[in-house]
Amino acid sequence: MSKPMQDRETVLEDIRQQLADGSITFGEAIRRLRTQVTGLNQANFALMCKLSMRTLRLLEQDAANPTVDTLNSVFKLFGMQVGIVALRRKPVTLPD
């Protein structure tokens, strides 16, 4: 049984936010996209993304050094792409 569209959108938004704030890795995001959004196994997800199973497995384990094109081959299917964002800095508290 597939997830309702609203549930998928909630998961996608959660993944986007966590990527933006650096609380998950690309590998964790890819694994969540595969398991929580598509429900596919690694073999079928790799085919969908036009990746080898080995590459997908390494990506999910954060054991790869992927190119931007490789990451985008996954993320573009979900309306995302890799980009440069400003660092979020913690506010500096100056002594009195």
In the chain the domains, ranked by start, together with CATH numbers, are 5-78 (1.10.260)
Q: What is the model's pLDDT at position 37? A: 95
pTM above 0.75, yes or no: yes
- 12 touches 30 (CB < 8 A): no
Each residue's pLDDT expressed in tens, for the chain with a length of 96 residues: 456 666 999 999 999 999 988 899 999 999 999 999 999 999 999 999 999 999 999 999 999 999 999 999 999 999 999 988 777 777 777 887
Of 25, 40, 39, 32, whose CA–CA distance to 11 is shortest? 32
Under 8 Å CB-to-CB from 49, ≥6 apart: which residues? 56, 73, 74, 77
Q: What is the model's pLDDT at position 3? A: 63
